[in-house]
Amino acid sequence: MPTTETEEHKALRSAVSALGKRHGRTYNREQLWSEAAKLGYLGVNLPEEYGGGGGGISELSIVLEELGAAGCPLLMMVVSPAICGTVIARFGTEEQKRDWLPGIADGTRTMAFGITEPDAGSNSHRITTTARKDGADWLLTGRKVFISGVDLADATLIVGRTEDSRTGRLKPSLFIVPRDADGFTRRQIDMELQAAEKQFELTLDDVRLPAEALVGDEDAGLLQLFAGLNPERIMTAAFAIGMGRYALARAIEYARDRTVWDAPIGAHQAIAHPLAQAHIDLELARLMMQKAAYLYDAGDDVGAGEAANMAKYAAGEACVRAVDQSVHTLGGNGLTREFGLASLITAARVARIAPVSREMILNYVSHQTLGLPKSY
């Protein structure tokens, strides 16, 4: 993989950065979403024949990172074009592609993603939402929790479990559930986290879906699921890196200007060195994110899985440290609404927790990469 960005990627990064700076930290989500869509940024990873830009997760991660670095990340980019758009582009029927991809690309249609459950987290092996055949239809029953942006979405791509026709075992399958489907209800979760996109608990009570609601092969199992989860991890890394860069930029500006005893505080190593370390950590995380995106776009799902998990871990840790050091650099000002950093203390931890915790990533690396025995 290249270790430096192409001229095309540099140009994309510059253009998205300019868009982000025009909107800034006080952005209006609907306005930014609409403008990003008109400029082709939301669908940059989707196939050209369905209205996309013909790029990949490499390009989409640049868009999200730069918007985050400007203080206006669009969380639904992780969900709608990255997860749902990618899964439908890879495994959907021609009808599903024609129905969903152009709208996802131009921002007129949005899709949420539902995997996490109250008792299973994101462990696909313990998901209890089930889908059973009823004639030609499917009936979905179960619960989901911490599902982002359901109120904004036209449909939710739900992960359920169906019986494998070859083995009889339950395995994950993906279903498009329209927002107005009978038996499909949502309840907003009261979060301390300040974000434009809300979190919801979903209930599916014998939701009846036609056969064409199933995305891909019902016996494909984890293959199709991880086609969406690997981009999710890469995009979460982009989200975290952008947030860390935003916080760090505010701290650097403050350290240059804030003068105590006739010297800018940034001249003191106790201030300068932690900020330099935070910058290094973010740059290293970005390199792993770029590797993961490169491998995924190249079709190496196994290699991308390892790298995506590592990128998400590294970016989450780097983001938390960058935000913490930035707030600390500003002292009391770091806790004021005027400087807009204090709210990032909570937001930064999301990258450590979701969509998979750092401990589960360490489990993945210890088992899959190092070959150590499982502890569970």
Whose structure tokens read 């980019």?
Answer: 77
The answer to whether residue 360 sits within a structural domain is yes
The answer to whether residue 207 sits within a structural domain is yes
Q: Give yes or no: residues 105 and 117 share one domain.
A: no
Q: Give yes or no: residues 165 and 302 share one domain.
A: no
Q: Give yes or no: residues 161 and 91 share one domain.
A: no
Q: What is the pLDDT of residues 267-305, one digit of tens each?
A: 999 999 999 999 999 999 999 999 999 999 999 999 999
State how many domains the chain has. Answer: 3
Please say if the pLDDT value at position 165 is more than 60. no
Per-residue DSSP letter, 39 = T
The answer to whether residue 195 sits within a structural domain is yes
Q: Is pTM beyond 0.75 here?
A: yes
Residue 370 three-state SS: coil
CB 66 within 8 A of CB 239: no
Q: What is the pLDDT of residue 224?
A: 84
CB 334 within 8 A of CB 363: no
The answer to whether residue 364 sits within a structural domain is yes
Residue of 113, 125, 157, 70 lying closest to 340 (CA atoms) = 70
Q: Give yes or no: residues 140 and 47 share one domain.
A: no
| Average pLDDT in the chain | 94
Q: Give yes or no: residues 250 and 292 share one domain.
A: yes
> Looking at 215, 236, 266, which one is the last position of a domain?
215
Per cent of the chain over pLDDT 70 is: 96
d(CA 241, CA 285): 7
Q: Give yes or no: residues 243 and 361 share one domain.
A: yes
Token duo for residue 79: 């969900």
> Looking at 215, 230, 257, which one is the last position of a domain?
215
Residue 140 three-state SS: strand
CATH number of domain containing 70: 1.10.540.10
Q: What is the pLDDT of residues 24-58, one digit of tens each?
A: 999 999 999 999 999 999 999 999 999 999 999 99
> Looking at 160, 181, 215, which one is the last position of a domain?
215
Q: Give yes or no: residues 240 and 354 share one domain.
A: yes
The answer to whether residue 374 sits within a structural domain is no
Q: Give yes or no: residues 364 and 256 share one domain.
A: yes
Worst-scoring range by mean pLDDT, 48-57, 223-232, 255-264, 291-300? 223-232
Token duo for residue 252: 């650097």
The answer to whether residue 286 sits within a structural domain is yes
Q: What is the pLDDT of residues 321-376, one digit of tens each?
A: 999 999 999 999 999 999 999 999 999 999 999 999 999 999 999 999 999 999 87
Angle, CA 237 vertex, CA 233 and CA 240 arms, to 5°: 135
Q: Give yes or no: residues 182 and 194 share one domain.
A: yes
d(CA 338, CA 371): 49
Quote the domain boundaries for residue 162.
Answer: 112-215
Q: What is the pLDDT of residues 106-120, one digit of tens each?
A: 999 999 999 999 987
Using left for φ > 0, alpha for ψ between -120 and 50, and beta otherwise, residue 49 falls in alpha
The answer to whether residue 13 sits within a structural domain is yes
The answer to whether residue 68 sits within a structural domain is yes
Q: What is the pLDDT of residue 227?
A: 86
User: Between these two residues, 217 and 367, which has the higher pLDDT value?
Assistant: 367
Residue 115 three-state SS: coil
CB 67 within 8 A of CB 74: yes
Q: What is the pLDDT of residues 74-105, one digit of tens each?
A: 999 999 999 999 999 999 999 999 999 999 99
Q: What is the pLDDT of residue 218?
A: 74
DSSP states of 269-319: HHHHHHHHHHHHHHHHHHHHHHHHHHHHHTT-HHHHHHHHHHHHHHHHHHH
Q: What is the pLDDT of residue 196?
A: 84
CA distances from 16 to 24, 39, 70, 73 (A): 12, 9, 9, 11
CATH number of domain containing 352: 1.20.140.10
